Amino acid sequence: MSGITDLLSVHPVLQGLAPAFLNHIAECAHQREIPAGTQILTEGDTASHFFLIRTGKVALQTSSPSTKVETFQTLGGSDFIGVSWLAPPYRLAFDAVAMTDVSAIMFDARCLRAKCENDHALGYALMQVFVPAIIERLKCARLKALDLYAVTNP
């Protein structure tokens, strides 16, 4: 477990989280090596896991019948994949695909949620980790909705 805890302690997403909390959440974590091209998360599935990316690049994607698969965000070594595990109905909204070989730490969401339920201090600390990132993603989505670089055809 100490190996995972060491990896967690140096990950940018978890900077500031107390060592005791790191030891606690490490019990829900596993190291994963994901080959390029792997579909890591699939839209509509239950959000049973989320990932901290250590190295590599991941594309968040969606598609519709009239368009090709569209990447709307790429994530890298200081990011995490998956927010749907945080709140009911725990349903994934988008696909995540490894653009390169990815080294990641995978968390069992049910395990982590149970720990948060039993230890609200841990739950609050994790919310302080994830909420700013979620706000940043919301800002990103709103700015994209403005289509700042739109090319007009008069």
Partner 1 sequence: MTTAHAKTIFTSEPFIPSWAKVASIYAEMGNAWTLQFEVPEGQDVPTFQPGQFAMLYAFGIGEAAISHSGSAAPRESLRFTIRPTGATTCALTRLSVGDTVGIRGPFGRGWPLEQAQDRDLIIMAGGLGLAPIRPVLKNIQMARTSPRRTALIYGARQPEHILYRDEFDDWAASGVEVHQIVDRATGAWDGAVGLVTHLVPKVSLDFENMVAFLCGPEVMMRFSAIALEDAGLPAERIWLSMERNMKCAIGHCGHCQFGPAFVCKEGPVFRFDQIRTNLFCKEI
Question: Which residues of this chain interact with partner 1, rule CB under 8 A?
Answer: 57, 59, 67-74, 76, 78, 99, 139-140, 143-144, 146-154
Least distance (Å) between residue 78 CB and partner 1: 8
Instruction: Report the DSSP pairing between strands 58-64 and 39-41.
Output: unpaired
Tell me which residue has tokens 């968040």. Answer: 60
Provide, rounded to whole angstroms, the least separation between the CB of residue 136 and partner 1.
8
Distance, first Cα to last Cα, the chain: 61
CB closer to partner 1 out of 10 and 151: 151
Helix (H) or strand (E) holding 33: strand 29-34
Between 2 and 64, whose beta carbon lies closer to partner 1? 64
Q: How far is the CB of 114 from partner 1 (least distance, A)?
A: 33
Q: How far is the CB of 38 from partner 1 (least distance, A)?
A: 15
Integer Cα distance of 135 and 132 in angstroms? 5
**Coil, helix or strand at residue 106:** strand
Shorter beta-carbon distance to partner 1: residue 100 or 103: 100
* Residue with Cβ nearer partner 1 (93 or 121): 93
* Identity at 93, one-letter amino acid code: A
Q: At which residue do the structure tokens 């805890």 appear?
A: 5
Residues in the chain: 154
